[in-house]
Structure 1
Amino acid sequence: MTNESRQRDAMAILAAIGTGSIPLHYFTADARWWWNGGLDLTVPEFLDILAQLHGQMTDGVQVIPGLVLAQGDHLMIEATSDSPLKDGRRYNNRYIFLFRFAGGRVGEVREYSDSAHVLATFEL
Structure 2
Amino acid sequence: MTDDHTQRALAILAAIGTGAVPLDPFTANAHWWWNGGLDLPVAEFAALLADLHGRTEDGIAITPGLTMADGDSVMIEATSAARLTNGRVYANRYIFLFHFTGDAIREVREYSDSAHVNATFDLAGPMGGG
> Taking structure 1 as the reference length, what is the TM-score of the superposition?
0.97
Shift of 1:82: 1.3
Shift of 1:111: 0.2
Q: What's the counterpart of residue 40 of structure 2? A: 41
Query: Residue 97 in 1 paired to residue 90 in 2?
Result: no
Shift of 1:88: 1.1
* Partners of 1:65 and 1:35 in 2: CA distance: 18
Structure 1 gap ranges (5+): none
Structure 2 gap ranges (5+): 123-127
Query: Pairwise mapping of residues 37-116 of structure 1 onto structure 2 (< 5 A)?
Result: 37-116=36-115
Aligned amino acid, residue 51 of structure 1 = A
> Taking structure 2 as the reference length, what is the TM-score of the superposition?
0.92
* Partners of 1:12 and 1:69 in 2: CA distance: 15
* Partners of 1:120 and 1:8 in 2: CA distance: 32
* Partners of 1:40 and 1:77 in 2: CA distance: 19
RMSD of the alignment, in Å? 0.7
Aligned amino acid, residue 113 of structure 1 = S
* Partners of 2:70 and 2:95 in 1: CA distance: 15
Which portions of structure 1, spanning 4 or more consecutive aligned residues, are displaced by more than 3 angstroms?
none
Aligned amino acid, residue 58 of structure 2 = D
Over the matched positions of the two proteins, sequence identity in percent amounts to 60
Q: What's the counterpart of residue 27 of structure 1? A: 26
> 1:62-106: per-residue Cα shift (whole Å, max 9, x none)?
000000011110100000011111111100000000000002110
Aligned amino acid, residue 43 of structure 1 = V
* Partners of 2:11 and 2:114 in 1: CA distance: 23
How many residues are matched? 123
